[in-house]
C-alpha cells in the first residue's frame, strides 16, 4: 500500500471568536494540546497507512510538541521559515521578527509548509510597495521561496511546497507551475519534498473547485515534471471531496484547513478524523 500524506494547516485558527477569529475549541493557551489529544487516538488505526503532519502557528509549537511526545504518530510542522539561518561561528540570532529553520527545529518541528498562496501574496505585496509587479514579482517570489526551501533542507525539515495558478494564469498554468517547480528542484538537496497543488482561483467562498479531470491532469503533469515526487491536493481536503480525491491515483493525500465552513466555523478534531477516514478508506479501494 502506498503511503498517503494528510497535512493540516491551522493558519490563525487560534484566535477566539469574540476577537473575530474562529476558535471555539479551547482557550489559546491549551488550544494546541487539545487538537493533538483530540486526534491522536483516532489516528492509531491508520498507523502505517498515512503520515500525519500538523502545521501550527509559532506560539503553539511548544505546547503541540509536548502533546506529540506523549502521543506519537503525529509530526509537527511550522508555517514557513526564513531564507537565512543561524550558523556556527556566524550569525547566532539576529533574526528579529523572522523564524529561522534552526529555531523551528529547536522547537520540535520536523516539517514546514512553504509557498502557500497566502505566503506568496504577502511577499508579492512587499515587492509591490517597491514597484515590482507582474512576471518580475512572480519570479522574485519563486526565488525567495527557493531560498526558504534550501534553508529548511539544510536542517533536514520535510518540506510541503505549495504551487498553484491564479485566475488570470489559468490559460498558461503549465508555464506558471513549471516556474514554481523549477526553483524547488534547483535547491532541494536534503530531506523529503512533497508538492501540494493549490488552485488559487478556486479558493474562497462562492468559488467553483476544480473537477476530478483537471486535478488528475495537473497532478500527472507535476509528477512527470518532478520525476515522481508525491503530490497532494492543497485546495482543501474536505468531507465532500475526500472520496473523489481518493479515486485519483496521482494524488497521494491532501491539505486540510477548516473542517466546518458554516455555523460555528473552525477546526474540530472529530470532524478532522471523519475526513481522514473518508479519504483513507476511499484510497484503500483503489
The residues, any chain, with a CB within 8 Å of residue 62's CB and separated by 6 or more, are 107, 108
Asked if 43 and 273 count as a contact pair (C-beta separation under 8 A), the reply is yes
Catalytic residues: 116, 198
Question: Strands 158-163, 4-9: parallel, antiparallel or unpaired by DSSP?
Answer: unpaired
CATH class (in words) of the domain with range 4-284 = alpha beta
Can you give the length of the chain in residues? 286
Please, what is the average pLDDT of the chain?
A: 95
Q: Provide CB contacts within 8 A for 285, sequence distance 6+.
A: 246
Residues 33-42 have pLDDT tens digits of 999 999 999 9
Residue with cell 502506498: 2
Cα separation, 167 vs 148, whole angstroms: 26
Euclidean distance between CA atoms 121 and 144, whole angstroms: 12
Percent of the chain with pLDDT over 70: 98
- pLDDT digits over 209-225, tens only? 999 999 999 999 999 99
Which residues, 6+ apart, have CB-to-CB distance to 241 below 8 Å?
A: 209, 233
Q: Stretch 99-126: mean pLDDT, rounded?
A: 98
Tell me what pLDDT residue 234 has: 97
Over residues 61-68, the mean pLDDT reads: 96
Task: List beta partners, residue 8.
Answer: 54, 256
Query: Quick check: 95 pLDDT over 80?
Result: yes
d(CA 93, CA 194): 29
Do 242 and 202 meet the contact criterion of CB atoms below 8 Å apart? no
Beta-carbon count within 10 A of 20 CB: 7
Q: Where are the domains of the chain?
A: 4-284
pTM for the model stands at 0.96
Amino acid at each position: 500500500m502506498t503511503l498517503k500524506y494528510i497535512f493540516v494547516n491551522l493558519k490563525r485558527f487560534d484566535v477566539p471568536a469574540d476577537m473575530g477569529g474562529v476558535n471555539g475549541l479551547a482557550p489559546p493557551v491549551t488550544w494546541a494540546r487539545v487538537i493533538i489529544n483530540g486526534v491522536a487516538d483516532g489516528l492509531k488505526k491508520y498507523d502505517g497507512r498515512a503520515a500525519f503532519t500538523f502545521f501550527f502557528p509559532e506560539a503553539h509549537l511548544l505546547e503541540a510538541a509536548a502533546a506529540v511526545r506523549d502521543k506519537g504518530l503525529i509530526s509537527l510542522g511550522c508555517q514557513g521559515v526564513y531564507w537565512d539561518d543561524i550558523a556556527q561561528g556566524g550569525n547566532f540570532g539576529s533574526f528579529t521578527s523572522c523564524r529561522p529553520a534552526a529555531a523551528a527545529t529547536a522547537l520540535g518541528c520536523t516539517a514546514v509548509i512553504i509557498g502557500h498562496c497566502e505566503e506568496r501574496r504577502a511577499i508579492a505585496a512587499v515587492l509591490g510597495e517597491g514597484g515590482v509587479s507582474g512576471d518580475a514579482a512572480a519570479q522574485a517570489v519563486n526565488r525567495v521561496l527557493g531560498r526558504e526551501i534550501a534553508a529548511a533542507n539544510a536542517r533536514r525539515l520535510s518540506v510541503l511546497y505549495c504551487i498553484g495558478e491564479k485566475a488570470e494564469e489559468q490559460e498558461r498554468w503549465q508555464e506558471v507551475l513549471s516556474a514554481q517547480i523549477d526553483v524547488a528542484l534547483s535547491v532541494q538537496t536534503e530531506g523529503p519534498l512533497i508538492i501540494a497543488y493549490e488552485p488559487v482561483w478556486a479558493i474562497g467562498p462562492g468559488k467553483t473547485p476544480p473537477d476530478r479531470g483537471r486535478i488528475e491532469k495537473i497532478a500527472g503533469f507535476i509528477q512527470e515534471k518532478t520525476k515522481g515526487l508525491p503530490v497532494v491536493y492543497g485546495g482543501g481536503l474536505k468531507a465532500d471531496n475526500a472520496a473523489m480525491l481518493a479515486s485519483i491515483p496521482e494524488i497521494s493525500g491532501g491539505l486540510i484547513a477548516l473542517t466546518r465552513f458554516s455555523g460555528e466555523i473552525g477546526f474540530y478534531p472529530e470532524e478532522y478524523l471523519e475526513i481522514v477516514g473518508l479519504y483513507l478508506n476511499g484510497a484503500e479501494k483503489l
